[in-house]
Amino acid sequence: MKVSNALYLFMLLSLTSGFQLLAQDNSKHADSTAKTPKWYDSFSLRGYAQLRYNRLLETNPDLKNEQGDKSWGDNGGLFLRRVRLVFSGQISKRVYFYLQPDFASAGPSGNLNFGQLRDAYFDLGLDDKNEFRFRLGQSKIPFGFENMQSSQNRLPLDRADGTNSAFSNERDLGAFFYWAPEKIRKRFAMLVQSGLKGSGDYGVFGFGLFNGQTANKPEANNQQHWVARLTYPMAIGKQIVEASIQGYTGKYAVTDAQLTDGVKFKDSRNYLDQRVAASFILYPQPFGIQAEYNVGRGPSYNKLTDSIEVKNLGGGYVTMSYRTKIKDQVFIPFVRGHYYNGGKKHETDARAYDVKELEVGVEWQPVKQFEFVCQYTMSSRRFEDHELQDNLQEGRLLRLQAQINF
C-alpha cells in the first residue's frame, strides 16, 4: 500500500509538471503569435464626401465648367461632387498599396453617382527606408502642385484651368520612380496631416512614363508620355517654402468619341503634347501663397480653320490665404486669380479656352471631420469648338460646399 501510494504521488506530480510545462509552451507560442504582425494589420480605410450648390446669386445660367464642377449653370442643383473611399496599407516593409474609387462619377447616359476607379497602384521600395521607390498603376501624374493636392485639402472648390487642363482627373496609367530622404518624406506627411494643405509625397525627384490618354482611357497610339519633376520643401525658421519645376512631353491621340462631324483633324490623329511648369508655395502659418504657371504646346481647336491644330498654350494662378484659429475652430479666408489660354485635349474637338477668373472665399472647420466652404466666383470663359462658335460666357455665382471627412 505504501508503495502504491508513493507511485500514485509520483505520477500525480509528473502529470502536474507536464501540464505546467505545456501551459508555459502554449503561453510562449501565444505571445510569439500576438507579437507577429499580420499582413493586413496596417490596412486602413478613410475617405470624404462633398455636397455642393452653385446657383445662389447666379447671373448667367449658360456659364459652364465642364472639366470642373458640372453642376454650374442651367439645371444645376444639389450635387455630389465627390464620394471617395481610400483603401491603403503597407503589405510588407517595402510594398505599399493604394486603392481609391469615386462614387460620384457621371455616366455616359447623363446619370450621376456611378462608381469609377481613381487610383490603383502599389509602391515598391528599393531600400529599407523606402527613400527610393517605384510606383506602378493608375495614379496622379507628378505635374503641378495643385494637381497632386487632394481635393479634400484644396481651398478653392475647383482646380485652376491653367495647370489642370494638362490631365483630366489628374491621373493616368504609368510607371514612376520617386526619391526623397526619410526626413523630407516625414515633412510631406506633416504638411497634410497638420492642415497646411500639402500635396502629399511625390518625392523630391520624380520621373516616369505614362499612356498619355488620361485616366480610365485605353492607350490610342502606342506612344507613351514622359514626365519629370523636382521639388523641395525648405524649413526657414517657422515657415516652410516649397519650390518646384516640372515638365512632360508626348503625343496625344484624338479619338472618335471626341470629334464633332465636320471638324478637320490630322490623318494620324497624333498631336504634340508638352508643357513645363513652375510652382511656389508658402505654407499658411498663418499667411500662405500658392502660385503656379505653365507654358507649352498641345492640340487645340482653331475656329478660323475649323480644325484641330497644335497651338501654344499658357496659364496659371495665384492663391493667397490666411489660416487662423478661434478657440478650436479653423477659419481660412482665401482669394485666387487664375488665367488660361489654350486647348483642352480631352474635351470635344480639343476645345479652345480663354479663361479669366477671380474667386473669393472662406473655409470653416468647426471640427476636424467637417468643413464648409463659401466661395464667390467672378468668371469670363470663352470655350469654342466646331459647334460652339464665338461662345463667350461671363457671369458671377455664389458657391457652397459641405465636406465630411472620415
Q: What is the mean pLDDT of residues 92-108?
A: 93
Residue 21 located in a structural domain = no
Q: Kindly state whether residue 3 falls inside one of the protein's structural domains.
A: no
Asked if the structure places residue 256 within a domain, the reply is yes
Residue 122 lies in a domain: yes
Predicted confidence (pLDDT) per residue in 148-205, tens digit: 999 999 999 999 999 999 999 999 999 999 999 999 999 999 999 999 999 999 999 9
Q: What is the pLDDT of residue 90?
A: 93
Mean pLDDT over residues 76-86, rounded? 96
For 163, the domain range is 36-405
Rg, the chain, Cα only: 27
Establish if 6 belongs to a structural domain.
no
- For 246-268, write each residue's pLDDT tens digit: 999 999 999 999 999 999 999 99
CATH number of the domain within which 178 lies: 2.40.160.10
Q: Does residue 55 register a pLDDT over 70?
A: yes
Number of domains forming the structure of the chain:
1
Pick the residue with more confidence: 321 or 26? 321
pLDDT value for 37? 67
Q: Report yes or no on 5 lying in a domain.
A: no
Average pLDDT, the chain: 92
- pLDDT (tens digit per residue) in 363-380: 999 999 999 999 999 999
Task: Kindly state whether residue 338 falls inside one of the protein's structural domains.
Answer: yes
